[in-house]
Amino acid sequence: MLNSLMSYLGSSVTPGEAGNQLWALIYVLIIFTGVSVAVIAMNWLERKALAHFQVRLGPMRVGPHGLLQPIADAVKLLLKEDIIPSEADKFVFWIAPLIGLLASFTVYTVVPFGPSQAVSDMNIGILFMLGVSSLGVLGIVMAGWASNSHYPLIGALRSSAQMVSYEVAMGLAVVSAILMTSLNQTGTGTLSMIGIVQAQQEQHVWFLFKFFPLGAIAFVIFAIAMVAETNRAPFDLAEAESELTAGFHTEYSGLRWSLFMLAEYAAMIAVSSIAVALWLGGWMRPFSHWLSGGAWDFVFSLFPGLTFLGLAAIAIRGTIRMPKHSLFRIQTIGLGAFAAVLSGIGLLLLGIAVGARAGDHVALARSADALNNVYWFVMKIAVFMYMFIWYRATWPRYRFDQLMSVGWKVMLPISLGVLIVTAIVGVIVG
Amino acid sequence: MTPVATPFFFYLLSGLAVLGGVLVITRRNAVHSALALILTLLAVAGLYLMLYAPFVAGVQIIVYAGGIMVVNIERTVKERQFNRIWPVGLAASGALLVLFVSVLVKGKALFPERGLPLPEADNTQKIGEMLYGNYMFAFEIASLLLLVAILGAVIMTKKKI
């Protein structure tokens, strides 16, 4: 067992490709934990950011600036009574949240956090991601139907109609990005997620800027369709609270409801990672071609550590500004400890980056490399996650007929046109 | 790398497919049948994977399990009724039975002795070359047929017949 653990170290392929089940399991656990923590953080950030958008304070009571609010919420949801309506279809009601959760977590097997930092690299990576994430709608439809109630049923029908419509535009936008991967000597592209990012590496350009503005238009189409796919505002008709109370999960409570929330946020991260891998260069750092060379590599490898130090600085500022009242003592100590942990992580990451630059220690250099890849990928996803919150705070909800006409009469023709023009330009240029 | 295509997975997946198929016709509840059908479709996708056809498996999931079944469930949820098409079903399954039996009887002559070398790594690229190279004309005819079907569906929904 130890042998198989050690034998993978130093290889430059994914554990799936190396056939190493143990490391694949470790990667799965790391990704699962990371996504769950990200969902918790996202929960806090969304409430806080939305509140500030609306000139409110948001959660302030549980922990300093409400930092412990997600944990309190989770405990509340776990302890809440689990209600199944007596007229509901028990089995379908029970299995629906699990299907949604399964669909949104399965796609992480092919998310390329780095050239070897993925569970596996499939020949059909992007197809697999789109297919499995489209199964998530089954969970919603089943939940809406099994509740045996009107609001959930309407919510589920809206959601499925919306997903089927936007998947078409989304797929065409994805195809135009995949076409760009075939612009090399051999003339064959790839569907593998790692292969797509490597194609951008070889062509020295993010597909967002390829054939400007064609890549950018396809990206915008995808960015819109992705919000619709995940049922987020302004496309959240499936759970429009002013019309359908809570839409498809009206009858759900406690743990099952929280599973839906987990699935929704996990799906948001998953589709963002598709957009990052296809158009934003995946794990590549910004300006990797313009500002190339060892010195620039070093400068950019300092970013992970500096990010954590910046977060630590914010926490330290909060600790200093905490009221000097005896009731605030525990909060002050807690925030101070949080700042200490953050700065410790930051210093560790900086140490790895500097150590990789200074000495020629292979393991250190490799881990610094892996760290950079994962860091840039996650940061690009984080931008999308913030955009999701921003959309929700800014735009009013679509009406259902507007939603359908935007999907079919605007997005579909544009994405089809972009696909055709991309193909023509690709033939002429490449 | 050891192959995952062991007989165990074949029996598991075909068992699931058959179980799903039986549930589709025995469940009285239309939505339960639809869910059983999804089980069958996913199991068949797994069988395609075992045949080293990842592209077909992906398409199976994205088109059938994802797209068509969602539309199907939506329709059954809305209407909650079954059409009785016994004769057609019997004819279709009879034809399928004849096909299977004939393959079983003279399968030796139909298929090569050993399995062909399977291009697993560039399966998708090979399919692309075949579709857009060797079988371009047939592919275009098929897509034209689908286009006609789409137009027909749009016209039928727009016009009261």
Domain ranges for chain A, please list them.
16-284+373-429, 297-358
Residue in chain B nearest A142 by alpha carbon: B31
Chain A contact for B127 (CB, 8 A cutoff):
no
* Residue spans of alpha helices (H) in chain B: 7-26, 30-50, 54-59, 69-79, 86-105, 107-110, 123-129, 136-158
Please return the burial class of A304, using the count of CB atoms within 10 Å of its CB with bins 0-12, 13-18 and 19+: buried
Residues of A in contact with B69 (CB under 8 A): 138
Backbone phi, psi, residue B51, to 5°: -85, 15
Say if residues B63 and B146 touch (Cβ distance below 8 Å): no
Number of C-beta neighbours around residue A324 at 10 A:
7
Give the best residue of A135, A162, A179 to mutate against chain B (max B CB count within 10 A).
A135
Select the residue from B76, B124, B158 to test the A interface by mutation, using most A Cβ atoms within 10 A.
B124
Q: Is residue B7 part of a domain?
A: yes
Q: What is the pLDDT of residue A332?
A: 87
* First CA to last CA distance, chain B: 59
In sequence order, what DSSP letters do the residues of A103-141 get, joined into one string? HHHHGGGG--SSSS-SS---TTHHHHHHHHHHHHHHHHH
- Last-in-domain residue among B84, B101, B130: B84
In a domain, B122, yes or no: yes
Instruction: Answer yes or no: do B77 and B127 share one domain.
Output: no
Q: How many residues are present in chain B?
A: 161
> Which residues of B are less than 8 Å from A164 in CB distance?
67, 70-71
- The pLDDT of B76-92, averaged and rounded, is 70
Q: Terminus-to-terminus CA distance in chain A, angstroms?
A: 49
Confidence at residue A357, expressed as pLDDT on a 0 to 100 scale: 80
CA of B54 vs chain A CAs: smallest distance (Å): 7
User: Does A137 sit within 8 Å of B1, measured CB to CB?
Assistant: no
A102/chain B closest Cα distance in angstroms: 14
Q: Is the pLDDT of residue A348 over 80?
A: yes
- B1 assigned to some structural domain: yes
Full residue range of the structural domain in which residue B136 is found:
118-161
Residues B18 and B77 in one domain: yes
Tell whether B52 is covered by a domain: yes
> pTM of the predicted model, to two decimals?
0.86
Beta carbons within 8 Å of A89's beta carbon, 6+ residues apart: A145, A146, A148, B29, B31
Q: What is the distance in angstroms between the Cα of B119 and the nearest Cα belonging to chain A?
A: 11
Residues 6+ apart with CB under 8 A from B110: B103
Given B84, B108, B129, which residue is the final one in a domain? Answer: B84
Per-residue pLDDT of B92-107, as tens digits, reads 889 999 988 988 887 7
Residue B35 lies in a domain: yes
DSSP calls for B47-89 = HHHHTT-HHHHHHIIIIIIIIIHHHHHHHHHHH------HHHH
A83 in Cβ contact with A253 (< 8 Å): yes
Rounded-to-integer distance, Cα A411 and Cα B1, Å: 44
Residues B127 and B65 in one domain: no
Residue B96 is assigned to a structural domain of this protein: no
Q: Which of A310-319, A331-340, A414-423, B72-81 has the lowest mean pLDDT?
A: B72-81
Cβ–Cβ below 8 Å for B31 and A19: no
pLDDT of residue A215: 86
Query: Is the CB of B157 inside 8 Å of chain A's CB atoms?
Result: no
- Interchain proximity B122–A191, CB inside 8 Å: no
Average pLDDT of span A88-95: 83
Checking if the pLDDT of A109 tops 60, the result is: yes
DSSP annotation of A213: T
Asked whether residue B152 is assigned to any structural domain, the reply reads yes
B124 and B71 inside one domain: no
Across the interface, which of B38, B70, B77 has its CB nearest the CB of A145? B77
**What is the amino acid identity at position A87?**
E
For the cut 70, the answer to whether the pLDDT of residue B117 exceeds it is: no
Q: Which residue of B has its CA nearest to A166?
A: B67
| Cross-chain residue pair B77–A157, CB shorter than 8 Å | yes
Q: Is B101 inside any structural domain?
A: no
Q: How far apart are the C-alpha atoms of A122 and B53, rounded to whole Å?
A: 12
Q: Where residue B38 sits, what CATH number does that domain have? A: 1.20.120.1200
pLDDT at residue B39 is higher than 70: yes
Q: Give the residue on B whose Cα is nearest the Cα of A158.
A: B74
- Structural Rg of chain B based on CA atoms: 19
Select the residue of A92, A132, A157 nearest B74 (Cβ to Cβ).
A157
Distance from CA of A368 to the nearest CA of B (A): 29
A interface test, pick of B44, B63, B73 with most A CB neighbours within 10 Å: B73
Structural domains of chain B, count? 2
Contact A163 B74 (CB under 8 A): no
Considering Cα of A248, then A409, then A191, then A116, what sign does the dihedral take? Answer: negative
pLDDT score recorded for residue A1 = 66
Do B123 and B79 sit in the same domain of this protein?
A: no
Cα–Cα distance, B22 to A24 (Å, whole number): 35
d(C-alpha A227, C-alpha A397), whole Å: 12
Asked if B63 and B7 sit in the same domain, the reply is yes
Cα(A135)–Cα(A169) distance, integer angstroms: 17
How far is Cα A308 from Cα A275, in angstroms, rounded to an integer? 25
Tokens for A60, please give them: 């302030």
pLDDT number for residue A163: 82
Q: In this structure, what token pair is assigned to residue A7?
A: 């034998």
Residues A92, A136 contacting (CB under 8 angstroms): no
Which residue type, as a one-letter code, is found at position B140?
E
Same domain (yes/no): B21, B70: yes
Q: Is the pLDDT of residue A16 over 80?
A: no
Residue A340, pLDDT above cutoff 90? yes
**Max Cα-Cα span within chain A:** 73
Q: Which of B112, B36, B99 is nearest to B72 (CA)?
A: B36
> Could you tell me if A369 and A117 are in contact, meaning their C-beta atoms sit under 8 angstroms apart?
no
In whole angstroms, give the CA distance from residue A206 to residue A200: 6
Tokens of B71: 């539309």
Query: What residues of A are in contact with residue B34 (Cβ under 8 Å)?
Result: none
For A207, half-sphere exposure in the C-beta direction (CA atoms, 13 angstrom radius) is: 32
- Confidence at residue A417, expressed as pLDDT on a 0 to 100 scale: 92
What pLDDT digit, counting tens, does each position of A364-398 carry? Answer: 878 888 888 899 999 999 999 999 999 988 888 88
- Cβ of B31: how many Cβ atoms within 10 Å? 19
- Indicate whether B4 pLDDT > 80: no
Identify the domain boundary among B84, B104, B133: B84
| Residues of A with Cβ-Cβ distance to B55 under 8 angstroms | 123-124, 127, 191
Q: pLDDT tens digits, residue range A181-216?
A: 888 777 778 888 888 888 888 888 888 888 888 889
